[in-house]
Every structure is written in C-alpha cells, then in structure tokens.
Structure 1
Amino acid sequence: MTDTLDRVVGDWPAEASAAARRTAARYGPPDEAMPSRLVWNHPLPWKRLVVNRDPVEHRFPQPHQDRIEGWVDLEVPRESTADLTAFNGSIRVERTRGELAATCDVEAINFLAVNLAHDLVEGRIDVAEARREYTEMVAGHLMGRAQPYTSGFAFAAVTAGAGTADEDEPVAPVPARGGGSRA
C-alpha cells in the first residue's frame, strides 16, 4: 500500500480501514485522499468510488453501516426519483449531473443496488419487487451463493459525457449583464 493510504487510514476505524485497503488492492491507489474519505476516479466499471471513514447506519435489509459509494452515469427521469428513494435510502440521484450512487458496506451490494435501480428506471420492476429482490439477493450473497447482479453491471454502462445530465429548465428571467445590481 502507498504511504499516503497508510497515513490516511491509519487512525480510521477497523472496518473503514479494511474497506479502503480492499478497494486499493482492487483498483490501485486512490486519486484523492482526505482525512475523511478516499476517492477513485474512473475505476472501471464505476465512474467514481468513495470510501468514507465515517459510516451511515442503515437498517435495510438488515442493520449494517454504509461506507462505500459507487457512482455511475445514469439518466434518471424526474418521475423515477421517488421510486428510487422508496426502494433504497442508500441510493442517491444527482439528476443535474446525470449520476446515481449506491452506498453500502460491500461493493458487490452496490452493484446489486445500481442494477435494481436501473431496472426500476427502465420500468421492468416496481418498488416492492426491487425491495424483495434486493433482500433475497443480499441473503444469497451473504450465504456465498453466486448472484449475477452482485458481480457487475447487468446493463451497458454509460460512458462519461454521454448525455445523462438533466440541466432542468429555467423558470426565472435571467438578469441582464452589466449596469444592474444583483440581489
């Protein structure tokens, strides 16, 4: 491991340090290192991976600590955002950027969450089905059974800059430049 990685995660909680070291072993040294997180940019097939020192407690489908964020470029229609948050509170949509993240304690479960989120956005399943399938596949994964949705993306990953962003529409007039004061 790099000196930087050792310096940053040396005083992290054991679970966080282990997650950072596993991620570095798989994807190489992080591109950004801060006292509270490490960031890997474009560690294929992800757009970005972040390992956070401080966890977020999460109780679905069973109590665990969310710590690893996996980001992808994914266009999420406005009408799908409520379904995604109802499916899993650890799904985050950055609609303006055209990104979606899943956060969990295991990268494989992030693949699962993103795959099911994609199925939801595409209308192949509803929220109840997504929650049921997620619960069943997490259980299978924890018991060592192969789960296709936990080993990678089950859809063609979008390349950066492929038009997934939603810049939204202006609703207020744009002030003229020069001469006037701004509020």
Structure 2
Amino acid sequence: MRMMVLTALMLAVPAVSVHAQADHKAHPAQKAKMTRGDNAMAERMIATWPARPKLGARQMMAKYGAPQEATRERLVWHNQGPFKRITVFNLETPHDFPMPHVDFMEHTITYNVPLDKMEDLIEFDGSSTINRTVGELSARCDLEGHNVLTLNLDHDIVTGKKSVKEAREAFGQNIDQDVKGMHPPYVMALQFQPHDMKTAAFADTPVIPGSPLRAAVAPAADGPAQMKDAVALASVIAIDLNQVNAGAQAGQEQLSAPVMAYAKKLHEEHGHHMVATMKLGEEIDVTPLITPAVANMQIKGADALAAIIPMDGMAFERAFLSMMVMGHTEVLAVLDNQLIPSAANPELKKHLMATRTA
C-alpha cells in the first residue's frame, strides 16, 4: 500500500533535474571561514573587534600561528600544545573574579570532571565550562596564563588538593605574584597531563524504555540466537528513526499538500512503530544492539537526507519521494533476506512480518 501511495505522489510531481536544482537554493549569508588560513585572513576578521579581544587574538597568532578557523565572531586554534582548542571571541564579558576584567579568551583541554566535582568547579570560577559528554574542561579569561591558572586549580579541586575556598585564595595569590614578574608555575604551564580523549568522554546511559545499547557497553547476549534478535530489533529501530528524521525534515519544507500529508504520516507511523519495537524488546527480554552494521544504517540514512536538504520546492519533493521509494525497496530486501530468516523469537518474527506488510 505504501509503495502505491508513493508511486501516485511521484507521478503527481513534475520531473525536475535534481542536480540542476541542488546548487540554486538560496542560502543565508555565511561568515568568512578558513581551514588553513593565514594571518592576513584572520586580520581581516578581527579588524573591527574591540581593542582587548583584538590584542588577545594577536597574542595567540604570535604564539601559535594562524588559526584553523576564523570568522568575525571568533578565531579558533586546534591541538596546540596541551590544549584541545583555543578560542578568542569578539565578545567581552565582564568578570570580577579575582578583580574586574573582561573575558574573551578560552582554553579547552580534554578532561573528565567527576560528577561530584562539577558544582565545586563552577563555584570556584563561574567562567569555567564543562562538557561531560565530550570530556572537555574550558577556562575563559583575558590572558592565556590566567586560563592555565584556572585549569591548574580546577585539577587541584578535582584531586582533593585544594578546597574551593583555598583555590580562590590561591588564584588571587598567583595573580599577585604574576603581576610582580615572579612567573608562578601555575600561571606558566599546566602542572598535570590532560586526560585521554577515549577515557574522558562520557556517553551517559539511556532512559527511554527498550532503548538500544551500543555493542561496546551492552551485556553479552545469551547465545547466537539472542544476538541475532538483538541486532534485528536495533535494525528496525534504526530504519524507523531514519524515516522519522526524513518525515520531520520534509515537514519543514514548502511542499504540496499531498506530499506534506505523506511526510506527516511517515513521521507519525514510524515513530509509533519504533516505540512498539522497543516495547517488544522489553517483553521478550532482548536488548536491541547497535553493531557497526546497524550504525552504518543510521549513517546511510543521514547521508541520503543531507543530500536533498539543499533543494527547494519541486526538486525537494521529487528527491524526497525518490529517496522514500529507494529506501522502502532496500528495507524490504533487508527484512526478507536478513532479519526475518534470522529471527529466533516467534514474537519478534511476527513483528518483522507485520513490518514487512505495513
């Protein structure tokens, strides 16, 4: 039935050259950006910046060379010394600790901040930012040395060497020494090694009932049959999620009424089916497993959707419907040749057969 609806919709949409339309969508003005730019490009970007951020930008260029990214809002250096990222912003933020100044320079390191230390770090210096998922710790101030000092004292708090109160006092003492030309070690360089990226990141845990788990963290399946069922469940969820994303994106476009109605139906039906599949996994006590093959299904869906987003109007409609027809054909092949034959649990096999005929 769904293939018949798709075919009818495609016949109703005039044929338009996909490739001819892809380059003609009007995009909003984009800021100048470079990936291996030179200082001349960066200088053009910072020409109208306020004096203090401009000074910071030139200090970083003098020390680290040309930034890898440059826009009129920020300059960014990647993987310089111990830092994962250095950013100078075209933005001055008033900050009165340890004395009035403005923040515009940020240094980021790879670091796993324990959950029970996050509040302490923010209490110590509100300009610190923590991205626990990626495994990053950033300090923002007006000088590189002051950011280095913040990160060193952050580490002292995390390791229990200093309390928040002691760290705040130490910050002021180090700044006092620094302005006197005493070059305190905590200002001059990191006194510890940043963490490894693989161990610093924290992927967290699912809270949606029946959610798939990544193969690397999932408990071992109870034999090959359950393993195949776990992959089958995750595969169907990945297929549904691709369709939900496609329907949601189409719903944001200017489409004809029939295609818009189809996109809405696609979004809703596959969303309900995804939830039902996860519920089934709970009922049969099989956790969906995201293997590399399942992850590739998600990547393939994202790649196909990304290819049509630059299109407008009839070009998008035609490409969207073509993508749905092709995707539906591929899904039927996966169900017929892989998932249904390999399903061991009878309830799962029944669910897959129902999916096949939906």
* Fold shared by both chains (TM-score > 0.5): yes
Residue 158 (structure 1) shift: 2.8
Alignment of 1:1-183 (within 5 A): 2-159=39-196, 161-173=197-209, 174=211, 177=237, 178=240, 180-181=270-271
* CA–CA distance in structure 2, aligned partners of residues 65 and 139 of structure 1: 18
* CA–CA distance in structure 1, aligned partners of residues 270 and 50 of structure 2: 53
Structure 1 residue identity aligned to 2:65? G
Q: Map Cα deviations across residues 73-109 of structure 1 (whole Å, 9 max, x no partner).
A: 0110111000000101111111111100000000001
Structure 2 residue identity aligned to 1:170? P
Residue 180 (structure 1) shift: 3.0
* CA–CA distance in structure 2, aligned partners of residues 79 and 164 of structure 1: 15
Residue 37 (structure 1) shift: 0.4
Q: Map Cα deviations across residues 34-89 of structure 1 (whole Å, 9 max, x no partner).
A: 11100001011211000001111100010000111000001101110000001011
Deviates more, 1:139-148 or 1:27-36: 139-148
Residue 146 (structure 1) shift: 1.6
Aligned residues: 182
Structure 1 residue identity aligned to 2:76? V
* CA–CA distance in structure 1, aligned partners of residues 156 and 175 of structure 2: 17
Question: Given the two structures, how large is their TM-score scaled by the length of structure 2?
Answer: 0.49
State the secondary structure of the residue aligned to 1:180.
helix
Residue 123 (structure 1) shift: 1.2
* CA–CA distance in structure 2, aligned partners of residues 154 and 135 of structure 1: 18
Question: Given the two structures, how large is their TM-score scaled by the length of structure 1?
Answer: 0.94
State the secondary structure of the residue aligned to 1:111.
helix
Residue 167 (structure 1) shift: 1.4
Q: Map Cα deviations across residues 88-140 of structure 1 (whole Å, 9 max, x no partner).
A: 11111111111000000000010000000011111111101111101111121
* CA–CA distance in structure 1, aligned partners of residues 142 and 39 of structure 2: 23
* Aligned-CA RMSD value: 1.7
In structure 2, runs of 5+ residues without a counterpart are 1-37, 213-235, 241-268, 276-358
In the alignment, is the contact (CA less than 8 A) between 2:112 and 2:195 conserved in 1? Answer: no
Between the aligned residues of both structures, percent identity stands at 36
More helix by share: 2
Structure 2 residue identity aligned to 1:34? T
More strand by share: 1
